[in-house]
Structure 1
Amino acid sequence: MSEPNTETTTADDRVGGQPADGADPPTAHAEHRGHATDQDLLNESRTAADALSNAVDSLWGMSVGARGLSITAHTVIVGDASVGTLVGRDNLGGAPGHRIVPSGPVPAVLLEQLDNTFVPPKVFEEMRRRLRDQSLLLLRAPLGWGRTAAALRALAEECTAGVHKLNPDVQLRSLEIEFTPKFGYLLESFGAEQASNLRTFHLEQLSQMLTEYGCRMIVVLDSTAQISADVDQFLLDGGEPADATQLVHSHLRWHLATRPPDLLKRAEVGQLLTDVAQNRPPTRDLALLAAELADVSAGRIDIVDVVNRHSAAADGRFRQWFDDELDVETRAFAIALAVFNGMPLHVVSDAGRALAQLIAHEEEPDENKHSRSVFGSRSTQLLSASHAESYRSTEETTYGQIPVQAVKFADDSYPRRVLEYVWQEYHAAHHLVRDWLRDYGSNPNLTVCTRAGVAAGLLSTFEFEHARKLMIEPWATSGERHDRLAAIGALQFPCLQPELAPLVVRMLAAWLRRDQPLPRRVAAAEALGSTVGQAMPDSAITLLRRAARSSESPLRKAASFGLVQLFWSAGLTRRVLSELRKWTGSNRPRLRDTGFRCVLDLSLYKGVDTPQGMREWPVMVWLADAADDHRDDIITLFARLIEAPIHMPAAYEEIQRWVEIAEKDPQLRRPLGRFLISLGQAIQDTEILPYYLHAWAEEPNGPRRAVNELLTTLDSKEKTV
């Protein structure tokens, strides 16, 4: 059945028309605004779109903070599973517990080699300063950080006579250590029991004895070492390790006795170093890589063999970490962090605890046995064991931004890697993780539910039909906004899989049929504006056009929001403008109405940062002024909007908003004036725009300066004509 070719006004449509003589023009402060341009809905749509982008970026391995986060400072708390070392393969050994030199004097040749290869971590200058001030320092850092190299280098620079390594069995509390004046001392293997028994009294006595002999000492502690709070004055946390790429370059120069060769310009070497920088293997592995690259440069081995060995080593470290080093609580925390990477600590902590309880109940059904200790693992322990870091960020709330403590994996590849590893290796965990994600997909927090949905979508690439029935379609059909966002998030990864993309399109087309529940149809339309539509724009625009003709107002709004999202996608702006010309020029009233709504939604959705602007400029004005190939489309669309009786008041409200921006940003006035001149010509009415400008200027605190300049521009154009 075809639509009646008449304009109809529904309860959610605007009411208005051409102003009568003497009537006040509508203002931006009018009490009634149509639902289609309601700023709250648009803001929610923008928030959801940003959350979706951040969720997809996180699981693609893009750095957290690239979009939507403001990082002000950070404290790195990273773990590693291997022992650090100084130099290349000749001194590595590779066995756990292998030391650079035995107890006793550190050979001068090794100190010289360290002098030529050492890359200082960020904390190094603080190490030296603290060592000069108090003669004794406790350096706490994870295995593989390069702590032995840093300690030896600091001692060598502060102690002119030489450096000794102490026997690991020495008892610091006994003070029965024979010191040689002016020497530096390193204790690099410090037992957990001895660390827990240290007190300020013992360390002050030891520091005084070192000062009397003119000596300095560094004691290396594991990142998980439990020590008394009263020894903080002697403690220094290592923080971020030295830059991995710089370490490889430094060791390679030492091996070749010259600058690194052209080998470093080869694509496969560049990719290898990128992976190394991201994964940050133990320092000894970086030294070994430099030695291998030296062999490649000399023609002794092939670069393919080096790449394969390091890839296998990285996989082995990851498997060992997840399979052997994590307990149930930490595994659950790591999985939660994979889903909510870069979000506030309280979100990740709560999600990890919920998952840990599900796992504990599955393994020990007796409800009395799966309670979790309130004072079990400390946050620092969880972060360290999970290879994660904490940093200061901001979170959007109903009342504005607030500072929060956020957490993320140190390695951007870990979120996706953790989830895929769990799915591929632990089949018994599937239903637990699925149930857990389904619950979080219904969370009222837009970011939380979107993250859960995107994670479910990544895992659905292994079993799409199962996930569709158990999670995606129930979310889409529930009618709850948060469930719908989870369903949309769950389609982001499947639509990028060549074997699943056609299936996703057919599924969304089926969802849009008239016999389907309205919530599912709305979810389909909104999904077409996401990665789904960006990957398949022809299919998406065709389906959105179908939704835009619907008699259901929520579905038409969803079609408008979907097309707005495609407008802001790279390479689709012109395509969307062309489509909107068809919609707004159609003889189908509902399609035309949706087109007009979409033009307003586009303009209100967000502004554009410009080099010359003090504020964000309206996208319509900026695009019409900056791109000649878009100008005619935009002027035509806005002219049609002004001439549509139902939408005319909202169109003038939007122009008034632009004028108010121009009042605060004088640089916008000239482009806006050019826009209004073209708009007046398009509607063939040179009096209506000055009429509104005068009225807006006469309002209390009206935009008088902007209006005066705009009227001068319009008048000068009229005189030239």
Structure 2
Amino acid sequence: MSEAEPEVAEPDTPKGPESNAEAAADAEADAADAKSAGAKAGTNADTKVNADPGARNNVDAKADAEAKREGLRKRATDPARRRNARAAANALVDGLAALSGQQITANNLIIGNARVGTLVGQDNHTGTSGPRLVPSGPVSSTWLENLVQTFVPPPTFEKVCDRLRAQPLLLLRAPQGWGRTTAAMSALHRECVAGVHKLNPDVWLPSLDIEFTPDAGYLLETVEIDQLRALQTFHLEQLSRTLTEHRCRLIVVLDDKVEPSPDVEPFLLDGGEPADVGHVVRKHLVRHLHGDEAAVLQLAEVAQLLAYVEEDRLPARDLATLAAELADVARGRIDIADVVERVFTSADSRFRQWFDELDAETRPFTIALAVFNGMPLHIVSTAGRMLARLIVDEETPDDKQTAPSVFGVRSAELLRGARAKSYKSTEETEYGRIPVEAVRFVDDRYPRRILEYVWQEHHAAHELVRDWLHELGNHPDLRVCTRAGVAVGLLSTFEFEHARQLVIEPWADSGERHNQSAAIGALQFPCLEPELAPLVARMLAAWLHRDQPLARRVTATAALGSTFGQLVPNRAIELLRRMARSGEPDIRDAVCYSMIELFKVTELTGQILAELRTWIGSRRPDVRDTGFLCVLQLSFDVDVDTFRGARAWPVMVWLADEMPELRGDIVELFARLMEAQFFVPAAYAEIRRWVCLSETDPQLRGPLGSLLIELGHAIQDTAVVPYYLREWGAERNGPVRAVEVLLTILDSGRAY
């Protein structure tokens, strides 16, 4: 993200007494640094000084400082720390993406993120010609001709026709609005020469009391659940024989929520994806405008509207209505703005009706899925049942409470009711990836829409949902904590101060890593709100003050590398520079984490490297140490997938090779690390890691050799790297081939 930042009122460093106090504190710290340096120099003067108790204290302090540095160095290259840092960063990115939703704008209208409660109670415009519903009995040839002109086959249509040719009876299952009646009519019209008949809805199939016309097709649209349960293999086979005798075909349309008996399975076909929305609307427009539809389709509002209705999966009838309205727009009868408003009113009304009609088991599951969209089913299910129990406790007197049923709604029914689907995914564990079943909404805009609807329309649920999310922020799974935090952040845009006091700050102050991840997640959406971003900036600056609890300062420091830092990087880097002075290991770790997250933003990579160069050249020992730790962690943590390599390359090698403008920064940072007291072993251990990677990836050897040549010149010792290379190559199972190539490159003194 570039420095063309949004207008966020950044809390610039105060110019008043607080600034003076900080300056005085900094001066005091400088004096302490100088005093400490003098004391350290004096400890080696002679043995008489060592006999002094004060000198012994200095020696002990020096030993403690070295032990602390050693602990930080080991942590910097600890695979477990790297794994946790990556997991935290990925969980935050995934959570923000899952709850962000999508937005389409037409002029000044927000049409992708419909605002609940503002588009209700207005008349729908109707203008379609021809019958909207097909009565029972023979279907007229005129209706069928109109159907042929406007029908767009769904992806499974040919499969429907193939099944009809292979067997006379077909049960087509698809959701309402999929276009199942139109698809069934079209298939029967194609396969049956004597026309199509629509059966009365009260026909009882097991009775076989139907008079069939030879070579005709039949459609039964609605079947009661009792009739489906009564259908057995005997009835279906007998019905199929009767249809075959008359050379007839019958399609029974079922709702996707229906679960028929196992006997029905051989005759059942799921509809799958519906027909392309854009094609449906265009076909109807052609019929209305007789080829003059191009002008209206070129309107920007129409293109955006079609994109919206495709995502919203409008029912087939609504698409026909929309086409008629667009035809009226082309004729100058109505304005496009009226059509846009009508579509959103209808969509909002359907959404409200769907959510409010969910049953007691499906609604908690749906809210849980809104928080954990795209995550494993076991996580969503557990969170949903946890919420269901809270709802029961709230709504039912103690002596009449009923726990959620263990064997109630089946998973398939639950997913259909929630407008969700399951799919195969993988989950990262301590021992590698494992396959899992994950779930997500069919429409990825639903997570945000559902949570906002609950918050805006169901005020009695506020405390219950807030407590539920607060408890999930304590979950042992980092992904769960972060998602709960991001959800709290979304809802906090309606009541930030309340959420800050009751949830966000308690998480930040807990000192628990998972709670802190939840707190950081909760700050993401407020940072994106123009009204709240300045408040969040001031709050983070206040949290970082030295009189605040350590846990809160650590949380704020780690938050600087997230959305806030990407929106206002100059301010974030300034605050990180201040926190780099701290000697607290947890704060240093958080500084490194945030600097690495900002470094990953392409537009900020050079700025972060330049900032680290100033840190490692600082006169403050703590700042220098923090800078070196950042360089070491950055090199150890970040890999880059490249088409040139068989595996991901170390970021330092890749940057030096791919971005010449940053090569000088890379060389200086790592050369200083190779010479820095206390960091030499860690620096060469990192180079050894690069060499071992190049053993299995020959393409890495050339860029690595070029970088090693420059590092040798930078430290003014071209013999030390070859020395270590030979040592590593002589190890048992050492990188022999890589060392041989690298030594050849170094001996030549030329880049590959």
Q: TM-score, normalised by structure 2?
A: 0.87
Aligned-pair distance for 1:283?
0.9
| 1:248-327 correspondence runs (5 A) | 248-258=281-291, 260-323=293-356, 325-327=357-359
- The partner residue of 1:463 within 495, 504, 507 is 495
Structure 2 residue 276 is matched with structure 1 residue 243: yes
Structure 2 residue 84 is the aligned partner of structure 1 residue 52: no
Secondary structure in 2 matching 1:119:
coil
Q: Residue 414 and residue 195 in structure 1: after superposition, are their counterparts in 2 closer, same or farther (change >3 A)?
A: same
Q: Which one-letter code corresponds to 1:11 in the other structure?
A: A
1:608 matched to 2:640: yes
Q: Which residue does 1:132 correspond to in 2? A: 165
**2: CA distance, partners of 1:559 / 1:607:** 19
The reply on whether 1:343 has 2:399 as its aligned counterpart is: no
User: Aligned partner of 2:403: which letter?
Assistant: S
SS at the partner of 1:34? helix
Please give the residue correspondences for 1:546-585 in structure 2 after superposition, counting only pairs within 5 Å: 546-585=578-617
Structure 2: how far apart are the matches of 1:385 and 1:121? Answer: 22
- Give the superposition deviation at 1:464: 0.8
Alignment equivalent of 1:170, drawn from 203, 213, 219: 203
- The offset of 1:611, in angstroms, is 2.0
* Corresponding position of 1:26: none
1:259 CA drift (Å) = 7.6
Asked if structure 2 preserves the Cα contact closer than 8 Å seen for 1:660 and 1:703, the reply is yes
> Which sections of structure 1, spanning at least 5 residues, go unmatched?
16-31, 64-86, 94-98
Structure 2 residues without counterparts, runs of 5 or longer: 1-27, 41-61, 104-125
1:674-685 correspondence to structure 2 within 5 Å: 674-685=706-717
Residue type matched to 2:531 in 1?
E
Q: Compute the displacement of 1:124 (Å).
A: 2.0
User: 1:580/1:124 Cα in 2 relative to 1: closer, same or farther (>3 Å)?
Assistant: same
SS in 2 for 1:572: helix
Aligned to 1:352: 384
Matches within 5 A, 1:699-718: 699-717=731-749
The one-letter code matched in structure 1 to 2:744 is T
- The counterpart of 1:89, out of the listed 124, 128, 133, is 128
Say if 1:261 and 1:297, in contact at 8 Å, map to a contact too. no
1:447-487 deviation per Cα after TM superposition (whole angstroms, max 9, x unaligned): 11100000001101111111111000100111111101000
The equivalent residue for 1:331 is 363
* Structure 1: distance between partners of 2:692 and 2:100: 41
Q: Note the alpha carbon deviations across 1:28-69, whole angstroms, 9 max, x for none.
A: xxxx96112322112111111111111111111269xxxxxx
- Which letter does structure 1 place at the counterpart of 2:383? A
CA distance in structure 2 between the partners assigned to 1:697 and 1:249 by the alignment: 68
Q: Write the letter of the residue equivalent to 1:60.
A: S
Q: Which residue of 1 aligns with 2:511?
A: 479
Look up the match of 1:412. 444
Sort the Cα spacing of 1:92 and 1:616 in 2 relative to 1 into closer, same or farther, 3 A: farther
Matched, 1:641 2:673: yes
Q: Given residue 212 of structure 2, which amino acid in structure 1 is its aligned partner? A: F
Please tell me whether the aligned partners of residues 639 and 682 of structure 1 are also in contact (alpha carbons under 8 angstroms).
Answer: yes
Q: Distance in 1 between matches of 2:79 and 2:629?
A: 13
1:39 corresponds to: 79
Deviates more, 1:589-598 or 1:174-183: 174-183
Which residue type is aligned with residue 170 of structure 1? V
Cα separation, 1, equivalents of 2:299 and 2:445: 23
Q: 2:476 aligns with which of 426, 441, 444?
A: 444
Counterpart of 2:59? none
The alignment partner of 1:102 has SS state of coil
Shift of 1:262: 4.2
Q: Tell me which residue corresponds to 1:493.
A: 525
* CA distance in structure 1 between the partners assigned to 2:332 and 2:731 by the alignment: 80
Could you tell me how far 1:263 is from its partner in structure 2?
A: 3.2
Separation of aligned partners in 1, 2:293 and 2:77: 59
Q: Quick check: 1:394–1:403 contact (8 Å CA) kept in 2? A: yes
Match of 2:559 among 527, 544, 555: 527
Q: Distance in 1 between matches of 2:435 and 2:671?
A: 44
Deviates more, 1:394-403 or 1:438-447: 394-403
Is 1:630 matched up with 2:662?
yes
Tell me how far 1:112 sits from its aligned partner.
2.5
Q: Is the 8 A contact 1:196 1:226 kept in 2?
A: no
Q: CA deviation at 1:399?
A: 2.0
In 2 relative to 1, CA 88–143 (structure 1 residues): closer, same or farther, beyond 3 Å? farther
Whole-Å separation in 2 of the counterparts to 1:273 and 1:215? 39
TM-superposed deviation, 1:719 = 12
- How far residue 117 of structure 1 moved from its aligned partner, in angstroms, is 2.3
Distance in 2, Cα, partners of 1:46 & 1:342: 19
Distance 1:436 1:718, change over 3 A: closer
CA distance in structure 1 between the aligned counterparts of 2:319 and 2:432, rounded to whole angstroms: 45
Q: Hey, what's the Cα distance between the residues in 2 that align with 1:560 and 1:261?
A: 56
What residue in structure 1 maps to residue 622 of structure 2? 590
Q: Provide the C-alpha distance between the structure 1 equivalents of 2:577 and 2:156, rounded to a whole number of angstroms.
A: 59
Paired residues of 1:361 and 1:367 also in contact (CA < 8 A) = no
Does structure 1 conserve the Cα–Cα contact (< 8 Å) formed by 2:101 and 2:444?
yes
Q: Out of 717, 721, 727, which is 1:695 matched to? A: 727
Cα distance in 2 for residues equivalent to 1:536 and 1:718: 42
Q: Which residue of 1 aligns with 2:430?
A: 398
- Partner residue, 2:70: 14
Offset, 1:298? 2.8
CA contact (8 A) 2:150 2:283 kept: yes
CA distance in 2, matches of 1:142, 1:394: 29
1:262-320 CA-to-partner distances (Å, cap 9, x unmatched) read 43333222221121111111111112112222222233322111111111111111111
Mapped partners of 2:67, 2:575: distance in 1: 25
More deviation, 123-132/256-265: 256-265
Distance 1:457 1:403 in 2: 30
Q: Alpha-carbon deviation of 1:156? A: 1.6
Map of 1:22 onto structure 2:
none
5-14 or 656-665, which moves further after superposition? Answer: 5-14
Given the superposition, is the C-alpha separation of residues 364 and 372 from structure 1 closer, same or farther in structure 2, using an over 3 Å criterion? same
Q: Distance in 2 between matches of 1:216 and 1:719?
A: 76
Q: 1:250 to 1:603 in 2, by over 3 A?
A: farther
Residue 617 of structure 1 corresponds to 649
**Can you list the C-alpha shifts for 1:321-379, whole angstroms capped at 9, x where unaligned?**
122x2123222111111101111111111111111111111111325423122222222
Aligned residues of 1:638 and 1:679 also touching (Cα < 8 A): yes
Aligned partners of 2:188 and 2:127: how far apart in 1?
Answer: 21
| Cα shift at 1:524 | 0.8
SS class of match (1:498): coil
**Shift in CA distance, 576/376, structure 1 to aligned 2, threshold 3 Å:** same
- 1:197 deviation in Å? 1.4
Q: Which has the higher contact order (CA 8 A, sep 6+)?
A: 1
* Separation of aligned partners in 2, 1:231 and 1:676: 70
CA contact (8 A) 2:557 2:579 kept: yes
For 2:411, the aligned partner's letter is: S
Quote the residue 1:510 is aligned against. 542
Q: TM-score, normalised by structure 1?
A: 0.90
